[in-house]
Amino acid sequence: MSEIRFHSGEDIPLELHKVRIVQKLDLVPVERRTEAIAEAGYNTFLLYNKDIFLDMLTDSGVNAMSDKQLAAMMVADDSYAGSATFTRLTDKLKEIFGTDYFLPAHQGRAAENILAVTFVKPGTIIPVNYHFTTTKAHITRLGGIVEELVADEGVKIESDCPFKGNFDLERLEDLLAREHERIPFIRIEAGTNLIGGQPLSLENIEKSADIAHKYGVLTVMDASLLQDNLYFIKTREESAKNLSLREITKRISNKMDIIYFSGRKLGFARGGGIAIHDKKLYLKMRELVPMFEGFLTYGGMSVREMEAMTVGLEETMDMDVISQGPLFIKYMTEELIKRNVPVVTPPGGLGCHLDASRFIPHVKQEEYPAGSLAAAVYIAGGIRGMERGTISEQRETDGSEHLAAVELLRLALPRRVFTLSQVMYAVDRITWLYENRNLIGGLRFVEEPSSLRFFFGRLEPVSPWPEELRKAFRKDFGDSL
């Protein structure tokens, strides 16, 4: 993908691929959408795909595959042990990262389990630039503590900082100086999922790694969103402008002891694993793979997915491929800004993030603005996003609500899946909703699971606002869906 200047003067993210397999989508009328979200307990996780037009819930395991990936899946070597498919994947990782060893795992969180079981015990501290839900769950389950050290700019919603995922190096150095004996590794998440796919700079990655190594602490990279981060280093970091993607990747991996990833994002397939330079570290973790995942040459993955991942990793070294997500997200974010819709800036990877606190400031945080906005965006356009606010938090042990630091609605853009007119449609419906934002009200729980309530919890509107929204839509759009 590349930004192409149109005669009108506008820069348009032009697709450098053609679509050769399609999946039919339905856009059900607003009446059905209003019904469907009520049936789903106003929780977008509980909607059925038949009622969804644009599924912007996540970028995980739903990225489009290339013809070369599909072709590779046909030649996968299905043997329990010694599979040639495994050798091809290991060789590709070695070529890209320079790592000699690879431990396969069924997805990213399984790699996190192996790392946590190996390195974390009660009292262990794991410094991170920012946490991810599954990472934190594995570390705290074993009695470890996650120390978040992202620079202050990282959590500002509106910013022009190009690298909001950067470590605060002073705080990192300070923590390591005091506590390095309790710290087996620092975890660098490139890019950072929960603050909006925001990247770290190459300089910050290298400096953080040097600080860790100075104190004899290992460096671990969560490379699940590395492809977006590579794009941002190449396009936003002056000193990296003349480096190739392969050179940037090598510079990063040379500073890492361990690189793990979710293959549901990196490599455009499904699976995951851990790439390691050092044999001792590899042996330390190896026995956990047959115990939890599967034999060492597949680790719970289908060999077809492993072949697709091998080709996907190669395609990650192609700027035309990895720029698609960030350029679409930039386009969507900038179009929304032009229409005064509050969003997270600068645009990152993964998706476009609406700021529910400013979108519907009249909905108080105890009535879940991000969750309400998710329901409203679905009613307005059949678009499914993911609540990233208070509903995604857990209650305190005394039962009181833990209010989230930010109330965001994430609209993920799975890579190479949507066309520009679909993105323009989303911008249009969100703009309409913004102009009718006063109609949107809050939600309250009717069924609230005690853990991970955002997955299965059911809510209801505090007033009949979804019905008012439906009526306004019908009035403004006439017969249109």
Ligand X SMILES: *Cc1c(COP(=O)(O)O)cnc(C)c1O
Binding region for ligand X (CB under 6 A): 60, 107-109, 132, 134, 189, 193, 222, 224-225, 262, 264-265, 272
* Three-state secondary structure string covering 396-433: CCCCCCCCCCCCEEEEECCCCCCCHHHHHHHHHHHHHH
Q: CB of 243 within 8 A of CB of 251?
A: yes
C-alpha–C-alpha distance, residues 193 and 204, integer Å: 17
Min dist CB 274 to ligand X, Å, is: 12
Q: By C-beta, is 132 or 378 nearer to ligand X?
A: 132
Beta bridge partners of residue 102, listed in sequence order: 275
* 6 tagged catalytic: no
* Residue 289 CB neighbour total at 10 angstroms: 23
Buried b (16+ CB within 10 A) or exposed e, 248-271: bbbebbebbbbbbbbbbbbbbbbb
Nearer to ligand X, 191 or 389 (CB): 191
- Shortest CB 114 distance to ligand X, Å: 12
Q: Which is nearer to ligand X, 222 or 355 (CB)?
A: 222
The span from the CA of 255 to the CA of 252, in Å, is 6
Give 411 or 427: the residue with its C-beta nearer to ligand X: 411
Q: How far is the CB of 336 from ligand X (least distance, A)?
A: 23
The half-sphere exposure of 103 on its side-chain side, counting CA atoms within 13 A, is: 28
* Catalytic position from the list 51, 222, 228, 355: 222
Each as own residue / partner, the long-range contacts of residues 328-334 (CB below 8 Å, 24 or more positions apart, any chain) are 328/1, 328/13, 328/413, 328/418, 328/420, 328/423, 329/197, 329/413, 330/13, 331/12, 331/13, 331/420, 331/423, 332/411, 332/413, 332/423, 332/426, 332/427
Nearer to ligand X, 157 or 188 (CB): 188
User: Per the residue annotation, which of 164, 286, 388, 416 is the catalytic one?
Assistant: 388
Widest CA span of the chain, in angstroms? 68
**Which stretches of 316-464 are DSSP H helices?**
319-322, 324-338, 356-359, 369-381, 420-435, 453-456
CB-based closest residue to ligand X: 108
Is 295 an annotated catalytic residue? no
Tokens 């690879």 identify what position? 102
Annotation says 132 is catalytic: yes
134 labelled catalytic:
no
**Annotation says 292 is catalytic:** no
* Annotated catalytic residue 454: yes
Q: Shortest approach of ligand X to residue 177 CB, angstroms?
A: 27
Catalytic residue among 18, 24, 48, 80: 80
User: From CA 251, how far away is CA 98, in angstroms rounded?
Assistant: 10
Which residue, 190 or 248, is less far from ligand X as judged by CB? 190
Q: 63 or 193: whose CB is closer to ligand X?
A: 193
Treating both helix axes as pointing N-terminal to C-terminal, what angle do 84-97 and 245-254 enclose, rounded to 10 degrees?
A: 90
In the complex with ligand X, the residue whose CB is nearer, 106 or 470, is 106
Residue pair 276/99 in contact (Cβ under 8 Å)? The answer is: yes
Q: Give the ranges where 100-225 is alpha helix by DSSP (H).
A: 108-119, 133-141, 169-179, 202-214
Q: Please tell me the distance from the alpha carbon of residue 327 to that of residue 323, in angstroms, as a whole number.
A: 6
CB of 131 to ligand X, least distance (A): 9
Distance, CA of 402 to CA of 422 (rounded, Å): 36
Distance in Å, CB of 207 to ligand X, minimum: 21
Q: Is 388 a catalytic residue?
A: yes
Q: How far is the CB of 465 from ligand X (least distance, A)?
A: 33
Catalytic residue among 53, 119, 130, 132: 132
The least distance separating ligand X from the CB of residue 224, rounded to whole angstroms, comes to 4
**Residues with catalytic roles:** 80, 132-133, 222, 265, 388, 454
